Amino acid sequence: MEASFLAFDLGAESGRAFVGSLKDKKLLLDELDRFPNEMVRDSGHLHWDIHALFRQIKKAINRCSRKVTSSPSGIGIDTWGVDFALLDRDGAVLGLPFAYRDDRTEGTIEGFTRIISRERLYELTGIQLMRFNTLFQLFSMVRDRSPLLEEAGDLLFMPDLFNYMLTGEMKSEFTFATTSQLFNPSRGDWEQEIFDALGISSGMMQEVVQPGTVVGSLSEKVGTETGLGGIPIIATGSHDTASAVAAVPAEGDDWAYISSGTWSLMGVETTEPVITADSIRFNFTNEGGVYGTNRFLKNIMGLWLLQRCREAWAGEREYSYEELADMAGEAEPFQAIMDPDHEEFLNPPSMPEAIARYLGETGQRAPRGHAGLVRVIMEGLALRYREVLEQLRKMRAQPINRIHIVGGGSRNRLLCRFTSDATGLPVIAGPVEATAAGNVLAQAMGLGFLSSLEDIRRVARSSFELEKFTPAGTLEWDTAYERFLDVKRQSGARDAGR
């Protein structure tokens, strides 16, 4: 058995293209291209430049046609979550899609939940209330009387949009659709009650297809431009976390995962959505997974905090992420305690200033120097992971005996060590490129090269080097955790799940 696949992993900071070669149940990933993806500001709002991204996609396909001896068996695209494009009735995109960090969604949760209560909304969708969810982005457009809604004939989520641009076919992939807060996972369809409340026709939504479905073939036009024609475009686990979780190299069911990157997505895999009083209270979310699974998880702010600090400090010094981790490892521990999920950190003008302001408001002094602040961020993330782990244990009957960290954050050895010490559990780190691996392996499953999710994970276990961290004394972390909970009470988190 031998096949190759082209996988695009588009994140909120960068995009990457990989050629994944599957041979004898082992996967080799070769990075073909890497390109920036930045929010652009237009008329006071943040958008994604989809045309620049599509040019990069076509460029990578062309490079693949020249570099790879045989054409790939398939092409799959995954992206960050919740964002979408509106298309007119002739199929033309109506402007650049808004970016989820745009401030147009302020006040939308409060506004929409006057129409449908929080409890009813969660009962219908199983999705945590976060103001940038697709639902609240649409509500902001309704509230602000956006003229785009009058022109719109179709809505396509980001990976579905690029699939459409490659093939001319409109579909919605399941794992992404479930994150929108427009989809009812119990019925497996768009929730009409929500569209009625919005005053928008559900007719703009597309047929929902499962990961592994062939959406169409590379169009003749794109084939001419890129040198590859007739290649199947496959709806992989197109929400990037769905692909990452599919490639977690785990066995059994006594584990939790953290997909660590710009966001940290921490949760467990279940067979059905978990919609209970506790899951509502803790504001957990249920998102579709590969092979009919459910990802029961919590969004945590993640390495976005570090990315934005690094950006703010670039005028003084351009740090690598490895340098920042090394510096933090030498800094004094627990100089201050922060909740990384405080709303002020969503997209402040200056992240270091926002953190210093937060620490001041909670009666703490900001550390002097960059190393101390990085350590506070890392410790805050590990303490938040512990809190989410304790919430998971309250809602899940099965034990949780280890944590798998996948994604870019898995190579941050300091954060992995802190996570193990804070939670008291062993941490297995890797693979770094879990999203690309899951993307490729879901394509392979769709075309019959693999037959199950366990097949996918077996390949992941045999293909990537993993590192294990064991807890080394948690007493100081126990004390820090009590401080963390106290600081959270002081900071007045807006919802009971934070």
HSE at residue 109, side-chain half, CA atoms within 13 A, is 15
DSSP letter string, 204-245: GS--EE-TTEEEEE--HHHHHHHS--SPEEEE---BHHHHHH
Which residue shows structure tokens 């402040």?
348
Tokens read off for 283:
């504001």
Measured in whole angstroms, how far is the alpha carbon of residue 258 from the centre of its chain? Answer: 11
Residue of 9, 160, 240, 339 marked active site: 240
H/E run at residue 17 = strand 14-23
Measured in whole angstroms, how far is the alpha carbon of residue 436 from the centre of its chain? Answer: 13
From residue 65, how far is each of 29, 44, 60, 71 by CA, in Å?
A: 16, 40, 9, 7
Neighbours of 476 (CB within 10 A): 12
Which residue shows structure tokens 């340098």?
323
CB 459 within 8 A of CB 441: yes
Tokens read off for 393:
């244990």
User: Phi and psi of 360, rounded to 5°?
Assistant: -65, -40
Beta bridge partners of residue 78, listed in sequence order: 9
240 a catalytic residue: yes
Please name which of 253, 246, 281 lies closest in space to residue 268, comparing C-alpha atoms. 253
In sequence order, the 6+-apart residues with CB closer than 8 A to the CB of 383 are 337, 422, 477, 480, 481, 484
Rounded-to-integer distance, Cα 421 and Cα 335, Å: 17
User: Residues with catalytic annotation?
Assistant: 240
